[in-house]
Structure 1
């Protein structure tokens, strides 16, 4: 079958989880920028704002894989429903503390559960795609030709939320109230998460061990390729975090704070556009070579950001960086899906998502400190450093980015098929 979005969206049951999933994944796009805008307003420091946002990101990065593992074992609904309630309550508590000018340690304390309970809707949707495409009759011995298209579609959807989310959060924080962005994020989490969890027919079957059995599924991180990709995705997080804080600092410096959402939306729009095109192409090059090329292009695209002082030039460079992000994201998710068995698929996706969050956390802290002590444009060096290091790691560990090797059990790309012995 020739890959195509029309064929993908005709997959039975797809729309049942796509629409509520779109609303439920908005928090990932709104949380960081909402925290930065609120805490900077109440403390006057980008460094403090970035640090609070970083605590949220680190907490999410540490807890997301555990949530994914539990979703594989217990089912998505069992993990998602209590998670969205706890997340909404934690965010409301963080808002109340910030508006009360509580000490920074109290903001850190509230940021921990806010990040730990971020619903992992993106990885859950990707896991549902794998199940849905397998159920369409793909032979068990081969990957669905639509899996790359599905990965591209999810990247586009993620980036569409990053077009809408930061613009919405910035508009609410600047035009309504500094806390409006985070409160809206909490409401969307609660409503969207409940609606998504209600779609039980499309959820993957939980991989519970049989009664009395001692079988224990190994962690997805035990796969060398997953570890390599998790490290590489820190660089993507560095781009997201560095761009968010630096664009906010630059637009504040020139007296036009409302432009930050527009500029970040332009960056995300480039990502979305590239994702649409990337998913429509039937690639002949291997995923590994495409991934290395994508990271090389991303490193080159981030290099001139720190020197761009004119807003139109900054917007153009942001668009270029966005165009380079999508191929790296899509290929990484496609590769990890080929590296792990179905029993650990959601966990594997959350390792990548958690790595992005961790990279973003480090980036917002570093970019915030640079903006405070060096200048608003200095934070743009963070995306360059992050992507350059990620590229170096991928080059050194490229031998691990192979779906199977001799003498080991190859993980299935999609579906719940038995492992295949590779001779």
Structure 2
């Protein structure tokens, strides 16, 4: 069975959409498993890099700077790396990126095993590794879009992907902890390098990747029919469309809220003299996100994705702001779990909107912009919150952290006035403003 859907398959949705149907899709399990194997590296590398650098230099300042350089180049260059994948395909773009990333991590593992290593050398290697980070998440979401033309199944696939990614960032630090208990800290960097290279090789060898070449319009193809998007437009990323702008803005707002919340939880636990509560609160946040993501993907929805995204972001912000009023750590655990219910659904919806807004040749970049906005918001909020803690009451800090997520609901107010197509019509580039703004009587995914 070909990995690129035929027109007939695109217009005939699956009779019983479910998570099992997603995983039964030809090549889905193999491709998803390969992507998760590589993405496990991202759950391990941050803690491994900090521990290895601290052990080698005996300086938290150097460790923090090295980690910041890695994160900065990884986040800022993410859309550019995704653009290379869109232009050349995963097989031509991912292999050099994964090889360079793995090589840089291996060099970091070797360098941090030497006690006399220079912090400048570690910073340079970390910046190189971050710049070469292969965009396995955006690539996998684009492949989901290819494998599952039925939007109901795609919603479930994106929810499954978001929940799995959440669990990877829980399992990764645990694996690093186990490795450090039996081996030196640099071993974690070596394992991270092996994971990303193995996962990337397995991903690009999947039959699902063969359909990627059909994204680019061949020069010999006839002119597109009236109303469709020209090839050049399909390669451009429509950042001006309200749907994609909303996905990026809300993703950044969610990142701001979560980045600040994690630091505020530490300050909250310190004030109450119970630092052990931090682990329980963050576990509740992740657990709530996983449960919310699975429930969200399994249910049909009447509201448009843009309306859902605004509601989910606002509900998450209000829940986490209210949690900051908790008088006891256990009450904060409950509040974090309730707020977490909306995290994975919000991220899933942002990716769905980005996928709908971008043409086939720009979907990886669209997803990367959403991901970059989230990571940039999280990193910036963590730094800003560190300046506020101790200067303002913690309850006010929680409210300020949640404010961007609540205010981002206003991004759903801009709606297109174009005619609304029937919801069963196959999706395609250029339909974002129409489909995202529609209020159909039935579920639109």
Structure 1 length normalisation: TM-score?
Answer: 0.79
Q: CA deviation at 1:381?
A: 7.9
Q: CA deviation at 1:304?
A: 5.2
Counterparts of 1:353-364 in structure 2, within 5 Å, are 353-364=371-382
Inter-CA distance 418–171: structure 2 relative to 1 (3 Å threshold): closer
Q: CA deviation at 1:328?
A: 1.0
Inter-CA distance 54–324: structure 2 relative to 1 (3 Å threshold): farther
Which residue number corresponds to residue 90 of structure 2? 76
Q: CA deviation at 1:94?
A: 3.9
Q: CA deviation at 1:323?
A: 1.7
Which residue number corresponds to residue 6 of structure 1? 20
Which residue number corresponds to residue 225 of structure 2? none
Indicate conservation of the 8 Å contact 1:170/1:181, yes or no. Answer: no
Which residue number corresponds to residue 141 of structure 1? none
Structure 2 length normalisation: TM-score?
Answer: 0.76
Larger Rg: 2
If asked which structure has higher relative contact order (CA below 8 Å, sep 6+), I would say 1
2:418 aligned residue (399, 406, 409): 406
Which residue number corresponds to residue 66 of structure 1? 80
The Cα offsets for residues 239-283 of structure 1, whole Å up to 9 and x where unpaired, read as: 554456666788899999998667544432221111111111111
Does structure 1 residue 158 correspond to structure 2 residue 180?
no
Q: CA deviation at 1:164?
A: 1.4
Once residues 258 and 238 of structure 2 are traced to their aligned partners in structure 1, the CA distance between those partners, rounded to angstroms, is 25
Indicate conservation of the 8 Å contact 1:220/1:347, yes or no. Answer: no
Indicate conservation of the 8 Å contact 1:35/1:182, yes or no. Answer: yes
Once residues 381 and 173 of structure 1 are traced to their aligned partners in structure 2, the CA distance between those partners, rounded to angstroms, is 38
User: How large is the Cα RMSD of the aligned pairs?
Assistant: 4.1
Q: CA deviation at 1:294?
A: 1.1
The Cα offsets for residues 145-185 of structure 1, whole Å up to 9 and x where unpaired, read as: 22222221211221121231233234444664444443332
Q: CA deviation at 1:130?
A: 1.2
Counterparts of 1:77-226 in structure 2, within 5 Å, are 77-96=91-110, 100=115, 105-134=120-149, 144-173=151-180, 176-206=183-213, 207-208=215-216, 210=218, 216=232, 217-226=235-244
Which residue number corresponds to residue 388 of structure 1? 403
Q: CA deviation at 1:325?
A: 0.7
SS at match of 1:283: coil
1:275 aligned residue (293, 300, 304): 293
SS at match of 1:58: helix
Once residues 384 and 36 of structure 1 are traced to their aligned partners in structure 2, the CA distance between those partners, rounded to angstroms, is 30
Listed as ranges, the gaps of 5+ residues in structure 2 are 1-14, 222-229, 435-445
Listed as ranges, the gaps of 5+ residues in structure 1 are 139-143
**Further displaced range: 175-184 or 9-18:** 175-184
Indicate conservation of the 8 Å contact 1:295/1:387, yes or no. Answer: no
Indicate conservation of the 8 Å contact 1:337/1:414, yes or no. Answer: no
Counterparts of 1:275-354 in structure 2, within 5 Å, are 275-303=293-321, 312-354=330-372
